[in-house]
Amino acid sequence: MTPDDYCQQKAAKSGSSFYYAFRFLPEPQRRAMTALYAFCREVDDTVDECSDIEVARRKLDWWREEIQRVFHGQPNHPVGQALQAQTARFNLPEEYFQEIIDGMQMDLDYDSYPSFRELSLYCYRVASVVGLMSAEIFGYRNRQTLKYAHELGMAFQLTNIIRDVREDALRGRVYLPQDEMQRFGVRNEDLLQGHHSPELVSLLEFQTQRARQHYRKAFEWLPEEDRYAQRSGIIMAEIYQRTLDEIEADGFRVLEHKIKLTPLRKLWLAWKTARREKKRHTSLAMEKAS
């Protein structure tokens, strides 16, 4: 199995929205994004699947060294080997990979966040940095696109937090800011006990409004000239926002069950969005040519 094959299997196995967005990319960009996503999955699994915190820390330290080998030596892991071929081609800085690992380590250092200020750093490290690297892979001409990528990463992570409230609580982690939970009258114990209440609904409505605000900011920053190049991010935004819509329509009953779009619906949304963006791009090109 080649390093690229390993990354492809890792991405396909996850069933993530990322996988559906990658399908519409040219082959070189698809390989780079698949390697980047496989790296994120590897370090995330290191934290989520390791019950011994100290062992998890040592594994993250190993990944820090592996990233150094990607940029300055011979990587050992198939994901590292796949990344090495892409980092120079797509201007992916070493410090961004280390920043992602720093974000994963925050899951070992914190089981909750006092306020949104602290949570923002976590979201930046585990999601916005990935967005910034994705923007480099997709390509852009206007640096405003990097602000779009940052905001979109924040929106994605906040959506994940809302969707995975109970699952995260069962792992001993609460990502909803503690001061906001206190303001709305929701306790950590309520999340663990699956206690659906009007207070929880109000809290999650507030979190949803924040996530939607980041989606709006992202697309306000996205220049038209870079929109088609960034279409994979737009596909993901479509899937994530429909997930948020489903959670809201279900009355925020995230403590009772996890809301997920089916693979078929994700594929349909991805195809429909890619088709819409292609038409938009073609139409604008024709207007310029006329």
Q: What is the pLDDT of residues 141-184, one digit of tens each?
A: 999 999 999 999 999 999 999 999 999 999 889 999 999 999 99
Q: Give the model's pLDDT for residue 104.
A: 95
Report domain extents, the chain: 1-93, 110-290
Amino acid at 202: S
Least trusted range by pLDDT, from 45-54, 87-96, 206-215:
45-54
pLDDT at 271 over 80: yes
92 versus 16: which is more confidently predicted?
A: 92
CA distance 29 to 206: 36
Which CATH number, 1.10.10.10, 1.10.600.10, 3.90.1150.10, 3.40.50.800, labels domain 110-290?
Answer: 1.10.600.10
Per-residue pLDDT averaged across 282-288, rounded? 85
Amino acid at 120: S
Q: Give the model's pLDDT for residue 14.
A: 62
CA distance 248 to 276: 25
Per-residue pLDDT averaged across 67-73, rounded? 94
Tell me the two tokens of residue 95: 């410090």
pLDDT at 15 over 70: no
Per-residue pLDDT averaged across 116-128, rounded? 97
pTM for this model (two decimals)? 0.94
The model's pLDDT over 100-114, given as tens digits with 9 standing for 90+, comes to 999 999 999 999 999
Half-sphere exposure of 29 (CA within 13 A, CB side): 18
CA distance 174 to 64: 26
